[in-house]
Structure 1
Amino acid sequence: MERQPGPVRGKLQIFQKTEKEPQARAGSPVQEYHTALVAGDLDHLKSLMDQFFQDANVVFEINKDEMEWQVKSPATFGLSGLWTLEYKRELTTPLCIAAAHGHTACVRHLLGRGADPDASPGGRGALHEACLGGHTACVRLLLQHRADPDLLSAEGLAPLHLCRTAASLGCAQALLEHGASVQRVGGTGRDTPLHVAAQRGLDEHARLYLGRGAHVDARNGRGETALSAACGAARRPDEHGRCLRLCALLLRRGAEADARDEDERSPLHKACGHASHSLARLLLRHGADAGALDYGGASPLGRVLQTASCALQASPQLTVQALLNHGSPTVWPDAFPKVLKTCASVPAVIEVLFNSYPQLCVSESWKEMIPEEVFQMHKPFYQSLFALAHTPRCLQHLCRCALRRLFGKRCFDLIPLLPLPKPLQNYLLLEPQGVLH
Structure 2
Amino acid sequence: MTMASADCLPDYPLDSDLVKRLKSALDASDEERVSDLLCTEVEQVDAIIEMANDDWMKDPSAQLPPGVLLGLWTLEYKRELTTPLCIAAARGHTACVSHLLARGADPDASPGGRGALHEACLGGHTACAQLLLQHRADPDLLSAEGLAPLHLCRTAASLGCAQALLEHGASVQRAGGSGGDTPLHVAAQHGLDEHARLYLGRGAPVDARNGRGETALGAACGAARRPDEHARCLRLCALLLRRGAAVDPRDEDERSPLHQACGRARPDLASLLLRHGADAGALDYGGASPLARALQTAACAPRAAAPRTVQALLNYGSPTVWPDAFPKVLKTCASAPEVVEVLFNSYPQLHVSESWKEAIPEEVFEMHQPFYKSFFALAHTPRCLQHLCRCAIRKLFGKNCFYFIPLLPLPKSLQNYLLLEPEGVLH
Q: TM-score, normalised by structure 2?
A: 0.90
How do 1:393-432 residues align onto structure 2 when only pairs under 5 Å count? 393-432=383-422
Partner of 1:61: 50
For 2:296, the equivalent position in structure 1 comes to 306
Residues 296 and 320 from structure 1, CA distance in 2 versus in 1: closer, same or farther, beyond 3 angstroms? same
Contact 2:264 2:297 in 1 (8 A): yes
Is the contact made by 1:58 and 1:93 (CA closer than 8 Å) also made in structure 2? yes
Asked whether the 8 Å contact 2:19–2:50 carries over to 1, the reply is no
SS in 2 for 1:120: coil
Q: Hey, what does 1:83 align to over in structure 2?
A: 74
CA 1:420–1:29: 2 relative to 1, 3 Å: closer
Give distance in 2, aligned partners of 1:302 and 1:385.
22
Per the alignment, residue 329 of structure 2 pairs with 339
Alignment CA distance shift 1:81-1:376 (3 Å): closer
Is residue 182 of structure 1 aligned with residue 211 of structure 2?
Answer: no
- Displacement, 1:340? 0.6
1:315 matches 2:308: no
Structure 1, 394-403 or 308-317: larger mean CA deviation:
308-317
The separation in 1 between residues aligned to 2:156 and 2:121, in whole angstroms, is: 11
Q: Is the 8 A contact 1:275 1:315 kept in 2?
A: yes
Partner AA of 1:369 in structure 2:
A
- Distance verdict in 2 for CA 1:209–1:173, change over 3 Å: same
Which letter maps to 1:273?
A: G
Matches within 5 A, 1:266-415: 266-415=256-405
Q: In structure 1, how many angstroms separate the alpha carbons of the residues matched to 2:185 and 2:75?
A: 35
Q: CA deviation at 1:15?
A: 2.7
Aligned counterpart in structure 2 of residue 234 of structure 1, from 213, 224, 232? 224
> 1:203 Cα deviation (Å)?
0.8
CA contact (8 A) 1:203 1:245 kept: yes
Distance 1:362 1:36 in 2: 68
Change (3 A) 1:435 1:122: same
Cα displacement (A) at 1:377: 1.3
State how far apart, in whole Å, the 1-side matches of 2:425 and 2:141 are: 61
Question: What is the match of residue 10 of structure 2?
Answer: 11
Aligned to 2:41: 48
Aligned to 1:21: none
Q: Distance in 2 between matches of 1:30 and 1:325?
A: 63
**Correspondence for 1:145 among 128, 131, 135:** 135
**Partner secondary structure for residue 313 of structure 1:** coil
Report the Cα distance in structure 2 between the residues aligned to 1:66 and 1:321, rounded to whole angstroms. 55
Counterpart code for 1:62 = M
1:276·1:314 contact (CA, 8 Å) conserved in 2?
A: no
Name the CA distance, whole Å, in 1 between partners of 2:37 and 2:221: 49
In 1, the alpha carbon distance for the partners of 2:247 and 2:403 equals 18
SS at match of 1:100: helix
**Could you say what secondary structure the match of 1:387 adopts?**
helix
Instruction: Provide the secondary structure at the position in 1 that maps to 2:12.
Output: strand
Match of 1:28 in 2: 17
Change (3 A) 1:200 1:274: same
Distance 1:152 1:342 in 2: 46
CA offset digits 1:357-400 (Å, max 9, x no partner):
01101111111111111111111111111111132111111111
In structure 2, what is the Cα distance between the partners aligned to 1:34 and 1:327?
A: 60
Query: Identity of counterpart residues, as a percentage?
Result: 77
Alpha-carbon separation, structure 2, partners of 1:157 and 1:197 = 14
Taking structure 1 as reference, are residues 177 and 120 closer, same or farther at Cα in structure 2, changes over 3 Å only?
same
CA distance in 2, matches of 1:81, 1:370: 42
Secondary structure at 2:129's aligned position in 1? Answer: helix
Q: Which amino acid aligns with 2:11?
A: L
Computed over aligned residues only, the root mean square deviation of the Cα atoms, in angstroms, reads: 2.4
Higher strand fraction (1 or 2) = 1
Q: For 2:170 and 2:305, locate their aligned partners in 1 and report how far apart those are by CA, in whole Å.
A: 42
Deviation at 1:127, TM superposition (A): 0.3
More helix as a share of residues: 2
CA distance in 2, matches of 1:337, 1:163: 47
Cα pair 2:330 2:359 within 8 Å, conserved? yes
What amino acid is the match of 1:147?
A: A
Q: Could you tell me how far apart the structure 1 residues matched to 2:37 and 2:173 are?
A: 42
**Deviation sequence 1:233-274 (CA, Å, 0-9, x none):** 011111111111111111111111111101000000000001
Q: Distance in 2 between matches of 1:141 and 1:205?
A: 21
2:89–2:128 CA contact under 8 A, matched in 1: yes
Displacement after TM superposition at 1:118 (Å): 0.5
Give the distance between the partners of 1:171 and 1:81, measured in 2 at CA: 40
- 1:150/1:180 contact within 8 Å kept: yes
Q: Distance in 1 between the 2:156 and 2:233 partners?
A: 13
Matched letter for residue 347 of structure 1:
P
Q: Tell me the CA shift for residue 287 of structure 1.
A: 0.5
Provide structure 1 residue ranges, at least 5 long, that are not aligned to the other structure. Answer: 1-9, 17-26, 72-79
**Which residue type is aligned with residue 31 of structure 2?**
A
Quote how far apart the aligned CAs of 1:63 are: 3.0
Q: Is the 8 A contact 2:122 2:158 kept in 1?
A: yes
